[in-house]
Structure 1
């Protein structure tokens, strides 16, 4: 019950924030790059989060930056989860040489540090935000694949899976109807935590100045505030706006994952159902 309350509350907060981020162009009558007020204006009734040194509305910029930062996380986590689920299922289901080859591949790729790799590639090739997300997903699928593989190995020993296989069902049918439904809960949890990690990774790249300079994101806003002397001028709102948005989003995602990770799939007449772990 306690985890359910946390989960639904986190989902409500995260959903409301996502709606605000993606609906920002329809909410404001000005864009995030337009000069709408006095420079370095503290928060007031008109500009709720104040303005930066150019007089740009920070609320508009934070919401637009949130859309781009979240999209990077969604792209990386989605690709990593998709690859990890497919490769893990295939490895655990077929076993033998297929399992050995994919397991060794996982061992090699999982040793590659994603964040340092992104730093090097961004420094040399000036990657876009979406290219960063693709690289995160292309390298970060191994943890999901290992968990899904372990679950698939266990599922292959369940009587209803062996029974369907004995009746001559195809591998594709068994994987789609009897393996996939039971590994999806694990994949969902891995997707949520990967979303949090990749979102923060993208913010970190922007903050150290290696993000996409052509696209507004939370890391770029923080980097701009720092390099423009926001701290020395005492413009606390310039930092509080993006930091608060990052904290709210990251905490909501983490609590959502926490509320789901105690659940697991269990067999019930050959169908998938959720039970408390």
Structure 2
């Protein structure tokens, strides 16, 4: 009950923030690039989060940056979960040489330092944040593949799967109807935690000035505040706005994953273990 309350509360907070980010061009009277007030105004009635050194509204910029930052996490986590689930199911179900090949491939890919590689690629090829999200997903599927493989390997030996196979069912049918439904909740948990990790990774890339100069994201807002002397001028709201959004979003995602982990983790000690309905 405690985990469920945390999960629903966090989901409500995250969902509300996502909706605000998506509809911000409609509900806000100006765009994040418009100069709407005097520079470096603290939070007030007209500008709830204050303004930056150009007089741009920080609330508009934070909501606009949220669209890009969260999208990077969704793209990376979605692709990583899709690839990891597919390869993990194939490796665990078929076993043998296929399993050995995919396991060795996983060992190689998981050893690649993703964040330094993203820095190098972005510095040399000026990749956008969305392109970096795709690279994150293409290189980050290994943890999901490993745990899905372990579960699929166990499921493939269950009597009901063996019985369906003996009746002549095809591999695709068995994978889609008898393996996938049991590993999907596990993939969902991995997706949630990957979303948090890739969102923060995208923020880190934006903070060091990578990911496209024309793309507004939370990391770039922090980079702009730091390089423009926000700390020396004591403009605390310039940092508080994006940092608060990052912390609230990351914490909400983490709490959602926390609430789902025990319920859907097959190796946990919780009461909701895997069972055949």
TM-score by length of 1: 0.96
Contact 1:73 1:202 in 2 (8 A): yes
Contact 1:206 1:219 in 2 (8 A): yes
2:260 corresponding residue in structure 1: 260
Q: Return the alpha-carbon distance in structure 2 between the equivalents of residues 262 and 240 of structure 1.
A: 33
| Structure whose residues are more often strand by fraction | 1
Question: Are 2:98 and 1:98 equivalent residues in the alignment?
Answer: yes
2:8 corresponding residue in structure 1: 8
Q: 1:144-163 to 2 correspondence within 5 Å?
A: 144-163=144-163
Shift of 1:212: 1.6
Paired residue secondary structure (2:62): helix
2:61 corresponding residue in structure 1: 61
Contact 1:79 1:138 in 2 (8 A): yes
Question: Are 2:51 and 1:43 equivalent residues in the alignment?
Answer: no
Contact 1:114 1:139 in 2 (8 A): yes
Contact 1:211 1:219 in 2 (8 A): no
Contact 1:76 1:134 in 2 (8 A): yes
Contact 1:85 1:148 in 2 (8 A): yes
- Number of residues of Structure 1 aligned to a counterpart in Structure 2: 269
2:206 corresponding residue in structure 1: 206
1:272 corresponding residue in structure 2: none
Contact 1:189 1:261 in 2 (8 A): yes
Paired residue secondary structure (1:55): coil
2:270 corresponding residue in structure 1: none
CA-atom RMSD in angstroms: 0.7
Q: What's the CA shift string for 1:98-151, capped at 9, x where partnerless?
A: 101101000000000110110111111111011000000000001100000000
Q: Which moved more, 1:203-212 or 1:232-241?
A: 203-212
- Residue segments in structure 1 that go unaligned for 5+ positions in a row: 270-277
Q: Return the alpha-carbon distance in structure 1 between the equivalents of residues 60 and 259 of structure 2.
A: 31
Q: Return the alpha-carbon distance in structure 1 between the equivalents of residues 159 and 70 of structure 2.
A: 42
Q: Return the alpha-carbon distance in structure 1 between the equivalents of residues 208 and 130 of structure 2.
A: 18
1:166 corresponding residue in structure 2: 166
Q: 1:76-115 to 2 correspondence within 5 Å?
A: 76-115=76-115
Shift of 1:35: 0.3
Shift of 1:267: 2.6
1:125 corresponding residue in structure 2: 125
Q: 1:179-198 to 2 correspondence within 5 Å?
A: 179-198=179-198
1:275 corresponding residue in structure 2: none
Paired residue secondary structure (2:274): strand
TM-score by length of 2: 0.96
Q: Return the alpha-carbon distance in structure 2 between the equivalents of residues 6 and 157 of structure 1.
A: 36
Q: Return the alpha-carbon distance in structure 1 between the equivalents of residues 93 and 80 of structure 2.
A: 20
- Residue segments in structure 2 that go unaligned for 5+ positions in a row: 265-272
